[in-house]
Structure 1
Amino acid sequence: MAPMQRRLLSRIANPLPATFLRGGTSKGIFLKRSDLPESQEDWPPIFQGIMGSPDPEYRRQLNGMGGGVSSLSKICVVGPPSSPESGADVDYTFVQVGIDDGALDLSGNCGNLSSMIGVFALDEGLCSPRMVDGKPGLATVRSFNTNTSKLIDTTFPVTPDLSPDLTRPEVETAGVPGKASRIVLQFVNPGGARTGKLLPTGSAVDTVVFGNDASATIPVSLVDATNPTVFISAEQLAKALGLAEQVTAEHLTRPDVEATLERIRQAGAVRMGLDPSAKAQPKIAVLSEPASSSDADAGVDIVIHAFSMGVLHKAVPMTVGLCLGVAAGVKGTLAHEIVTKARSRKRVVQGELVRIQHPGGTVDVGAKFDEVGAVLNAQVVRTGRRLMQGVVWW
């Protein structure tokens, strides 16, 4: 660490005021922008210390607040809006902290933790809520995500004194025990969050080469909504791997399969015009048709196994789920084909919502398009919980 940086950091509080929150199926540290150095270049030693990274040997982050998996190694920095023209109540920056190397990745957003930005902002007095017309006790906070330059609305119950009320037994989040208050998370104009285009290549399906042999190819749908994602089908992955049987979750945890998926992800990143070495973006997800009777009974439209930072996710990163919900509405994508086929066999279809089955359960995602096919918004219901408010050592 350079002497100048050391002197600057010595002026930053240690311990640092912080709040620990669960949003959806993720947990993270929430910090006020005013408590941090002005330059993001000075954030790494602070955030690494908070999370307990790097931890290449044990991968448990026992020296910090991280939990050894990507969904628990996250930080949100929230502050007043930097531009009045944005129409936002607050700005926030999402940071994924690498477990092994401690690298800070600011290339994307976290849908799960986005659901708690409004709660944190009201708790900290950073803004006032926008009350929902005709719905007493419901408030909205509009935030501007600096990673993707997108507006996101969170709508949730509030008490008479306008404090967020998270304890109403209204809805469940798959993978989280019990019921809590309904938080509606709506991404406004989510297309082109990183690349500027919903379909970065202009095609609903592309073919990428993922090995040294030019014959090692696989069809992919490259979609950029809320976060860019490389979608592949389980059927095509089985062919690429030379498997006679269907791809299962057990296959997806094999090191050789993980390595293949990483090569496909990197090839997709190049086609999207993104940095293939960035681990957090784009994500990659394997899609398949609902096959079990339980899926049919649950009204599942599509099954997903998503990867985060190279590891099979125990649920689904919410930005990937939202991206899938949008992709399912874009004719010609792998997601659209699977959902269309699944719905042709259903007796009942749940309207505009796409029901996604993931390893932790199901989630319904909605997406609205205009008359020319541009995506207007994507939304999902989450729950959250306050876990701790105090200070954190770094």
Structure 2
Amino acid sequence: MTSLRYKHTTANPLPATFYRGGTSKGIFINRADLPENISDWDPIFLGIMGSPDPEHGRQLNGMGGGVSSLSKICVVGEPSEARKAEGIDVDYTFVQVGIRDSAIDYSGNCGNLSSMIGVFALDEGLCKPRTVDSTRGVASVRSWNTNTNKVIDTTFPVADSDGVSTPSLNLPQAVVAGVPGKASQIVLDFVSPGGARTGKVLPTGLPTEIFEIPISIATSASKFRISLVDATNPTVFILAEDLRTALHIDPDSPIDFANPEVREVMETIRRRGAERMGLDPSAQAQPKIAALSPPSPKDSQQGVDIVIHAFSMGVLHKAVPMTVGLCLGVASGLERTIAWEIVTKNGQVKPSNLVRILHPGGLVEVGADIGEGMDVKSAKVVRTGRRLMKGVVWW
């Protein structure tokens, strides 16, 4: 394996690979092909994605797709010698690129694209996999996410040929809601994910608290029960019921999360939550915000534990950002959070059990291992992925 060297000039076009990971797609770039100074990355990433596109929001001049789940980049490279000594195989930085503006956000991680870090690392020859089960051809890669300073393990099938292990992504093993067909199972394991940004799984020390938020149609501020949880990525959880009450939405009518008034209220709560967690409220990518509700009787019979509507970059996500899903899995195991109250009333879900989440795109199961004193040991989820293209990208 060659030593890591940085170039003084950046190629245009730039070597890159395009992957689907879970319900997201993104450009993966070898760290060695970018400038050493991270401050020089922004114009490259904006050019790759076709941002900003203030008038149309479609990113037609780049690889972006006009929604947050398609405007993502991962920069992957060899770890430092110190990290290698700690057992890390590869480092990566996740980048969320603005669509209508020039925002470049390094504040959080992407669970969906994290599932493809190990695949890219092997495809690029950045590391060798660790054998998990040689009889089944399953191996893993341990990565270090620089955004959150957390360890993430990805485990997936590999095929060995002449001593070279190549990820096998086309086995009919698993289904991901929102993605057609089956593909190889990729197990994503966030090790000790608590306090990814704030240092604490409950940044304020409280499982629930009350926010009073001014609503234009109300004469006084409306009250919202909130849980602020930081696991894999910090998230503000609210009750959909409180949103319905504040906006006088008929109990028999669905909440239109695309309604500008709903979006305004969600963003106001998100910003307040960011301030309470000591985060920058103007950074749209972090924290996320999601409205939770109990499953309907029909959904409950199908094993659904909780329903989520999550926002990403101010817009309702068509599925659920995977880091938010994992954060919800952790929150469901933390006593007296609003997530815990919902799942325990529904099915007596224990912290080590899988939580079955219903989102606009379908179902996902997440698991969290929580020890004494709210020690979150790990959070796991199954993803699939696909190689889409490898070559060069103009910026």
TM-score (norm 1): 0.93
How much does 1:172 deviate?
Answer: 0.4
Partner residue in 1 for 2:362 = 361
Partner residue in 1 for 2:172 = 169
Partner residue in 2 for 1:63 = 61
In 1, the alpha carbon distance for the partners of 2:232 and 2:361 equals: 21
Partner residue in 2 for 1:33 = 31
Partner residue in 1 for 2:231 = 225
Q: Which runs of 5+ in 2 are unaligned?
A: 1-5
Where do residues 117-128 of structure 1 align in structure 2 (5 Å cutoff)?
117-128=117-128
1:146 aligns with 2:146: yes
Equivalent in 337, 341, 344 of residue 340 of structure 1: 344
How much does 1:237 deviate?
Answer: 1.2
Partner residue in 2 for 1:198 = 201
1:287 counterpart letter in structure 2: L
- List per-residue Cα deviations over 1:148-183 (Å, max 9, x = no partner): 000000000000231000010001000000000000
In 2, the alpha carbon distance for the partners of 1:287 and 1:230 equals: 10
In 2, the alpha carbon distance for the partners of 1:352 and 1:96 equals: 31
Partner residue in 1 for 2:3 = none
In 2, the alpha carbon distance for the partners of 1:366 and 1:342 equals: 17
Would the alpha carbon gap of residues 131 and 165 (structure 1) be closer, same or farther in structure 2, given more than 3 Å must change? same
1:216 aligns with 2:222: yes
TM-score (norm 2): 0.93
1:263 aligns with 2:238: no
Would the alpha carbon gap of residues 214 and 34 (structure 1) be closer, same or farther in structure 2, given more than 3 Å must change? farther
Q: Which runs of 5+ in 1 are unaligned?
A: 1-7
Partner residue in 2 for 1:284 = 289
How much does 1:135 deviate?
Answer: 4.8
Q: Is the 2:351–2:370 Cα contact (8 Å) retained in structure 1?
A: no
Q: Is the 2:334–2:351 Cα contact (8 Å) retained in structure 1?
A: no
Where do residues 1-394 of structure 1 align in structure 2 (5 Å cutoff)?
11-82=9-80, 83-84=82-83, 85-133=85-133, 135-161=135-161, 162-211=165-214, 215-245=221-251, 248-249=254-255, 251-293=256-298, 295-343=299-347, 352-394=353-395
SS at match of 2:325: helix
Task: Point out 4+ residue stretches in structure 1 off by more than 4 angstroms.
Answer: none
In 2, the alpha carbon distance for the partners of 1:167 and 1:61 equals: 30
How much does 1:39 deviate?
Answer: 1.2
How much does 1:350 deviate?
Answer: 12
Would the alpha carbon gap of residues 269 and 86 (structure 1) be closer, same or farther in structure 2, given more than 3 Å must change? farther
Return 202-211 or 312-321, whichever deviates more.
Answer: 202-211
Q: Is the 1:175–1:360 Cα contact (8 Å) retained in structure 2?
A: yes
Would the alpha carbon gap of residues 364 and 120 (structure 1) be closer, same or farther in structure 2, given more than 3 Å must change? same
Q: Is the 1:77–1:92 Cα contact (8 Å) retained in structure 2?
A: yes
SS at match of 2:167: coil
2:345 counterpart letter in structure 1: K
Backbone CA RMSD of aligned residues:
1.9
2:242 counterpart letter in structure 1: Q
